[in-house]
A and B are shown apart, each in its own frame.
Chain A
Amino acid sequence: MARVLAVRDLSVGYDDDPVLEEIAFDVQRGQVFAVLGGSGSGKSTLLRTLIGLQQPLHGRVHFTGIGTPAQAMAPPQFGVVFQSAALFGSSTLLQNVLLPLQKWTDLPPAAATAVAMGRLRLVGLERFAHHLPSEVSGGMKKRAGIARALALDPPMLFLDEPSAGLDPVTSAELDELILTLARRLGVTIVLVTHELPTILHVADQCILLDRGVRGIIARGAPRDLAERSTDARVQAFFHRQTSRLA
């Protein structure tokens, strides 16, 4: 497996107040890589730094073979699905997916529409193409967000809390979609979550962040960590124990 993302000596945070200090990890091509941790552990700050929306305090993020984040003049090299899906409320789902295609390809309108409809079909939303985001459910919004993120065939996707706020069935459907993207389309996926069923079902590798040490306290396959780790904090996370009981 080829390495697609290398993070080295990375410190992230706000105004010289680090949330995470000198962390390092690699993501391999085609992997589903989960960034885990409790609330306030720095998951979302790390994600914002990885996708270029926030400057690191120290260290570097290196993408191999897919360009670098936040290159304003070049098409985005990876897709991002935000926690709220962040669809544009005044545009239909189809128009949301069309947006990057119109900006970055020379496809004629009919072809761009065909590609966008294909993406919506992939995520099971073709019938809702002309609905506004306010007219569809939370799970549909997430799936539409994935369709938009996939619009330009990025080799890598970042997903922030994909299952947050969804019912178990919808959440499981989304997990299957993530697996389809990774296993059948070969998309490398970095997902930030603390949903245990999602982690155990879809993630190949993970890192577990901890607020106390401002860094990574465990890394490996989620099932291995859940079953074999002797670290009380890891056990507490995977077995939903409170800190008092751990």
Chain B
Amino acid sequence: MQASFTLTREPAAAGSLRLRLGGALTLRDGARLWRDLGAAVRGHGDVEVDLAAVDRLEGGAAALLAATAMQHAERGGVLRYTGAQGDAARLLELYDCGRGDPCERSQPRQPGLLSDIGTFAHTAVGTTRAILAFVGDLVVGVVQAVRRPRTVHLGDLGVLIERAGTDGMPIVLLINFLVGAILGLQGAIQLHRFGGDPFLANLVGLSVVRELGPLMTAILVTGRSGAAYAAELGTMTVNEEVDALRTLGQDPQRFLVFPRVLTLVLVVPVLTLLGDLIGSLGGLAIAVTYLDQPSIVYLQAMQLAVGLGDVGTGLLKSVAFAIAIGLIACQRGLSTSGGAVGVGRATTSAVVVVLFTLVALDAVFTWIFTLLDW
């Protein structure tokens, strides 16, 4: 495609270069203007570019002319634009790097690996401290709530329980059933080789009730409700709704956090119980279909293997998981800053921190229960 401008070389004194630009200098031909003018002036010291024949100059092209002059100056040369008239002269003046402060080079901030590691460590410490302070605030809030129950906002509790519990039940049941079935299948294959078919109920029952049921349920609740709480409270924070609450004399802890934590404390153990049940049924399905075991045999074996204490340890874990999910998700949400990006960051952070905490808590509980022989 023909360029709408011309660039010609004119006679000049020795050691200097004189160019003449003519026609229309537009952004459409910007790439060619940048390339041709840059190539023409490269290697020359004193360069004059006559713009008298330019009949149209767009702002984008003016910016390119200014940037070319700046680049030439950085190489030790001098590039002057002369002869510009009317609108072209006004535009050149607006984009001129000599106007006011000199034009700055584009240098994005690149902190480097060491700085990244330092920032990560600093953020991790700050996040931990903020979560602990938040827990302290909540404990104080709970004490005050017990003293004055009417100050706690429980109006949304029903809706929150429906969203976290009823709405989340199908996916919790499905995943726990599949986990029980997968565990059952893998266990059945190994046990069958050693004639240990009757012990499938022990394997699946204890694993699901003590470990996998509470953990998988908590992970799913984190993905559904934890992420939702962080995003919801994060959006409220960046929209100054949380500040508005404070100005109305409402404590965000009691108005927003307490109902959500309470919701999870009520809902997660119930979901865990249902998850335990359906996960064990997943094992039953494998026992019946893969090992041709009568269902009564599997159920009787499970009755013998899994005691109320096992269910109790799982439920104890689920309560701790619920508190961790609620606290961390709400804390991350309420510490959001920076608009839509901040909300995304807070949600991601909430899910990651909660998942890490769940696994760490699970390990601690398992260790304690082993020590206590529970």
Contacts and interface: CB of A to CB of B under 8 A. Distances in A.
A220 interface: no
Contacts of A180: 94
Interface in B23-81: 26-28, 30-31, 34-35, 58-60, 62-64, 66-68
Contacts of B34: 107-108, 110-111, 114
Nearest to A90: B341
B108 A184 contact: no
Contacts of A229: none
Given A90-B341, A115-B60, A134-B338, A126 B103 contact: yes
A202 to B, nearest CB: 18
Given A90-B341, A118-B67, A184 B94 contact: yes
Contacts of B35: 108
A46 to B, nearest CB: 26
A71 interface: no
Interface in B326-352: 337-342
A105 B104 contact: no
Contact count band on A: 20 to 34
A186 B87 contact: yes
Give the one of A108, A115, A130, A185 with max B CB within 10 A.
A115
A32 interface: no
B373 to A, nearest CB: 52
Interface in A200-245: none
A22 interface: no
Contacts, number: 99
Contact of B64 (A92, A106, A114, A184): A114
Nearest to A135: B338
B22 to A, nearest CB: 19
A134 B342 contact: yes
A126 B105 CA distance: 9
Give the one of A92, A114, A152 with max B CB within 10 A.
A114
B59 A150 contact: yes
A231 B339 CA distance: 44
B64 A89 contact: no
Interface string A25-68: 00000000000000000000000000000000000000000000
A231 B133 CA distance: 61
Interface string A145-158: 00000111100000
B109 A130 contact: yes
Given A108-B31, A130-B107, A115 B341 contact: no
A134 B104 CA distance: 22
B95 interface: yes
Contacts of B59: 118-119, 122, 150, 153, 185
A172 interface: no
Contacts of B106: 94, 113, 117, 129-130
Interface of A: 89-90, 92, 94, 105-108, 110-111, 113-115, 117-119, 121-122, 126-127, 129-130, 132-134, 150-153, 180, 184-186
Q: Sorted from nearest, which 6 A-B pairs have the closest CB atoms?
A: A118-B63, A114-B67, A111-B34, A134-B338, A89-B341, A153-B58
22 contacts: A89-B341, A94-B108, A105-B27, A107-B34, A114-B63, A114-B66, A114-B68, A115-B27, A115-B30, A115-B60, A117-B63, A119-B59, A122-B59, A126-B101, A129-B106, A130-B108, A130-B109, A132-B338, A134-B337, A153-B59, A185-B90, A185-B91
